[in-house]
Structure 1
Amino acid sequence: MSTSVQIRDAGIAADAVDGFNSPAKQKAASRSAYGNRPLLSLRRAKQFLGAAKFKLFLALFALSAVVLITARLSSWMGWHLHNPSSVTSRASYTVLINTWRQKSLLKQTVAHYASCRSADAMHVVWTESEQPSERLKTYLNKIVVSKSQKAHKQNFRFDITADYESNSRFRPIKDLKTDAIFSVDDNVIVPCSTLDFAFSVWQSAPSTMVGFVPRMHWLDKEQNNVAYYRYGGWWSVWWMGTYSMVLSKAAFFHRKYLDLYTQEMSPSIQGYVSRERTCEDIAMSFLVSNATGAPPIWVKGKIYEIGASGISRLRGHSPRRNRCLNDLISLYKTSPLVLTNVKAVSARNEWLW
């Protein structure tokens, strides 16, 4: 019994050796393993490509959503991408200074804006009955040449009118080389770096007004089916967190609005502004908002008023502004002003976005 068992065990051992460790079977098994590797690699490649396609699809979907939202926002704000074809007219701006019997302030203002690199030209709106003296002209021309920071010197000149007329501030200017107009009072200084940032904002929204002095309006009361609006100054803007105008005492706008103001705006409105004398800045805000249907853009930045206090601090200023606002709404038969709470801020000067 023991002998036969041993033989059977030996036979089983022999079969095991023959079945699993024979060279022929090892070679066949090796071929089978190598033959399956391409199939396994192909399967893994398909799985990887499937995941990659899905990720690519998600990325393209997210990018499309961002582009769509940006386009809608740009359309609502009136913002447009910069057009390289108009580099010559869009790369710089013209400074339009409104002055009235303040020669010492005018000298300081001209000297400052002559040092701003992006300023291509400077025009002084002169509405005094007495013509500017040759001495003053020569002095200011020398200042422009000496203060200029670039080889191309600014084109400097006076735009003279016969008498004091509020609408003269926005008369068309011949031979302009820029689309952008920076309208500024003779007692307002905006640092060149701040001005450059505001100019870049205007370049993205050339149809609207971009400025540093926001103002607002609101419906105060209504009596006998007649609405009455209030004009709000800086503290109203700060308290309410909204605005509907930026004043032309420090603001960019397209030169086409000079033509629209003088040639297209209703003569009744021009006559009213001429009589009121301190209403032309509100009238310009009405004109631009009526043309675009969009709000202006307020740029956050420090500006400095030099010299004596402005007319905004004179007695009776607030009632006159209220009257101007309501009379213009009556002449337009509606209020074209659009309220907004958007503010342009340079990220370089802010800790938090």
Structure 2
Amino acid sequence: MSNLVQIRVAADAGDGFDSPAKQKAANRSAYSIRPFLYLRRAKQFLGAAKFKLFLVLFALSVIVFVSSRLSSWMGWNPHQSSSVSSTSRGGYTVLINTWRQKSLLKQTVAHYSSCQSVDAIHLVWSESEQPSEKLKTYLNKIVVLKSQKAHKPNFRFDINADGEPNSRFKPIKDLKTDAIFSVDDDVVVPCSTLDFAFSVWQSAPFTMVGFVPRMHWLDKEQNNAAYYRYGGWWSVWWMGTYSMVLSKAAFFHRKYLDLYTHEMSPSIQDYVSRERTCEDIAMSLYVANATSGPPIWVKGKIYEIGASGISSLRGHSNRRNKCLNDLISLYGTLPLVSTNVKAVSARKEWLW
């Protein structure tokens, strides 16, 4: 009996928790579970870290947004100097096209004189009546007073008494810049926006870079001939594409002044002279034909001052359609290239 008891006790002792077999099994189980515990803790840690990182990034975004908007909220309007103005880059020449709107010249000339990167301002005067000496003296004084740099912009009238629409793109002697900013006398572009567009133009100096996009599309074919529609801003907005930027607010290389005047087909120039509202489309077609590429639209606020322009007149859309199709016919081809690329300043967009 005692032997039986002893054998059972020994057996129980051998199968206890401290037995080698159970200890080995326990260790094996612990080693197999431990990686899952580490993984769970790591996930918990990383989850907390990501949440903290999100909070930090959100807080920084709020700080940046508030800082960028603080000046406008407080009513401050500090002048933003140009970041691209330098002697090596040469700045740009503002070419203002005016037509019987002398009252607007005071505002436009004063504004563009204050832009740091403006090297010269040329006023294309296409009226039969010559500008008075009083007006010349007054505008020259404005340029001197409004300019915020030691080197004052060179201001000059370019007289074209014949009223010829093509004279808008007449070559200019003694230009010191390659960049031309063509603008109507009733259009004001903020200096910081203008300088950004200039930097975009510098990356593609042989295309047109501007603020007023337009488009074309094939409407129908008549007698085996294509008929195109000219699309304004709402068409661009709806379709999300464009193929022209108008010279009422656009940069282009000064060589196009010479090419437009001396190399463009006389038949096209004669047509522009007769129609009188097609020179901007003709320039877009010419640059597109020369580059085989699209223009670049720069996103930015521009302001049209004074009374409504010719685009608000009845029949304007039909005239633009006719102009586009007639010029394409004279070219013998459609050089326009559509695109949906838009240049946007990252400094103006707080959320990427």
Q: Give distance in 2, aligned partners of 1:175 and 1:93.
A: 13
1:187 is matched with 186
Distance change (3 Å), C-alpha of 1:216 and 1:89: farther
1:232 is matched with 231
Q: Does the aligned pair in 1 maintain the 2:166–2:272 contact within 8 Å?
A: yes
Secondary structure of the residue that 1:220 maps to in structure 2?
strand
2:46 is matched with none
Q: Deviations over 1:175-208 (max 9, x none)?
A: 0000000000000000000000000000101000
Q: Give distance in 1, aligned partners of 2:289 and 2:88.
A: 25
Q: Deviations over 1:39-82 (max 9, x none)?
A: xxxxxxxxxxxxxxxxxxxxxxxxxxxxxxxxxxxxxxxxxxxx
Q: Give distance in 2, aligned partners of 1:106 and 1:100.
A: 10
Secondary structure of the residue that 1:112 maps to in structure 2?
helix
> Counterpart amino acid of 1:219?
L
| TM-score for both structures, normalised by structure 1 | 0.75
Q: Deviations over 1:129-153 (max 9, x none)?
A: 0100000000000000000010001
Secondary structure of the residue that 1:153 maps to in structure 2?
coil
Secondary structure of the residue that 2:177 maps to in structure 1?
coil
Asked if 1:102 is matched to 2:101, the reply is: yes
1:92 is matched with 91
1:27 is matched with none
Q: Give distance in 2, aligned partners of 1:257 and 1:209.
A: 10
Q: Deviations over 1:224-266 (max 9, x none)?
A: 1010000000000000000000000000000000000000000
Q: Does the aligned pair in 2 maintain the 1:89–1:179 contact within 8 Å?
A: no
1:89 deviates by: 6.6
1:88 deviates by: 4.7
> Counterpart amino acid of 1:209?
M
Q: Does the aligned pair in 2 maintain the 1:215–1:231 contact within 8 Å?
A: yes
Q: Does the aligned pair in 2 maintain the 1:295–1:338 contact within 8 Å?
A: yes
2:291 is matched with 292
Query: How do residues 257-268 of structure 1 correspond to structure 2 at under 5 angstroms?
Result: 257-268=256-267
Q: Give distance in 2, aligned partners of 1:261 and 1:223.
A: 31
2:59 is matched with none
Q: Give distance in 2, aligned partners of 1:298 and 1:198.
A: 9
Q: Deviations over 1:292-312 (max 9, x none)?
A: 001000000000000000110
> Structure 2: which 5+ runs fail to align?
1-85
Asked if 1:244 is matched to 2:274, the reply is: no
Q: Does the aligned pair in 1 maintain the 2:219–2:227 contact within 8 Å?
A: yes
1:162 deviates by: 2.1
> Structure 1: which 5+ runs fail to align?
1-86
> Counterpart amino acid of 2:239?
M
2:199 is matched with 200
2:307 is matched with 308
Q: Give distance in 1, aligned partners of 2:159 and 2:88.
A: 25
Q: Does the aligned pair in 2 maintain the 1:299–1:344 contact within 8 Å?
A: yes
Secondary structure of the residue that 1:325 maps to in structure 2?
helix
2:132 is matched with 133
> Counterpart amino acid of 2:324?
L
Q: Does the aligned pair in 1 maintain the 2:298–2:344 contact within 8 Å?
A: yes
| TM-score for both structures, normalised by structure 2 | 0.75
Q: Deviations over 1:271-330 (max 9, x none)?
A: 000100000000000010000001000000000000000110001100000000000110
1:340 is matched with 339
The percentage of counterpart residues that share the same residue type is 87
CA radius of gyration, larger in: 1
Name the Cα RMSD after superposition. 0.9
- Structure (1 or 2) with the greater helix fraction: 1
2:323 is matched with 324
> Counterpart amino acid of 2:252?
F
